Amino acid sequence: MITDAAVHDAVVLSERYVTDRFLPDKAIDIIDEAGSRAKLKSFSLPPEIKELDQHLKRSLKGKEQAIKQQNFEEAVRLRTQEDILRKQIDEEKLKWKAEQEKNRPVIGGEEVSMIVSKMTGIPLYRIEEGESERLLKLEDELHRRVVGQDEAISAVARAIRRSRAGIKGEKRPIGSFIFLGPTGVGKTELARTLAESLFGNEDALIRVDMSEYMERFNVSRLTG
């Protein structure tokens, strides 16, 4: 069974973290993968049946060895044990299948988060962290890696919170920032830290070196 929370999280998390594909395909892929994992998990035999199965294999091996050694009394004993074990395994499997029918696997938000973490390589704790919690810690996270740029960090954090609150226009970007300053003051580092804080990966950005586009004809490299 796929819960509403799983569908919601698949859309939200895929939009945020899976940047190389498009909706609704990427959300459907996540739900499909979560369903496949849940199905495989449900098909896994419980430890009790696996233990009985191992015991049966040992009995079969012992019976063959006893026959080779012409120890027929031992072979008969092991044959009786084999029949008992087979009956126990059949009974346990019937109980297990009945339980499986009664308790079908449920796919929720936790399963979706695990799939997104596996697909993107982003730690599970970052994905499960709430949006509001992440936004509250945004400035602290930026200050941790970018030193001495309080005004820029404050302006960026305000713009992000405003966007996430739904105040901005639908067709407008989250924010447009121009960072000015000499080399080494933290312009690129701020962008990387922002990408990691919002999307879980500091490489979740496209860097364009404008020094490569100084000539007019170089524009074709951007537009194709």
Residue-wise DSSP of 53-78: HHHHHHHHHHHHHHHHTT-HHHHHHH
Top pLDDT among 187 and 174 is at 187
pLDDT for the residue 166: 64
Residue 31: pLDDT band (50, 70, 90) is: very high
Please check the confidence at residue 39 and state whether its pLDDT lies above 90. no
Last residue of a domain, one of 63, 78, 111: 111
The answer as to whether 119 is a domain residue is no
Share of the chain above pLDDT 90, in %: 21
The answer as to whether 219 is a domain residue is no
pLDDT for the residue 133: 75
pLDDT for the residue 175: 78
Query: Are 150 and 102 in the same domain?
Result: no
Residue 53: pLDDT band (50, 70, 90) is: very high
CA distance readout (Å), 113 to 30, 41, 104, 199:
9, 17, 20, 14
Quickly tell me which residue has 């074990």 as its tokens.
85
Instruction: Answer whether 28's CB lies under 8 Å from 115's CB.
Output: no
The answer as to whether 222 is a domain residue is no
pLDDT for the residue 86: 92
pLDDT for the residue 10: 92
The answer as to whether 125 is a domain residue is no
Q: Domain containing 63: what range?
A: 4-111
Domain tally, the chain: 2
pLDDT for the residue 51: 92
Query: Are 139 and 208 in the same domain?
Result: yes
Consecutive H or E run containing 28: helix 25-43
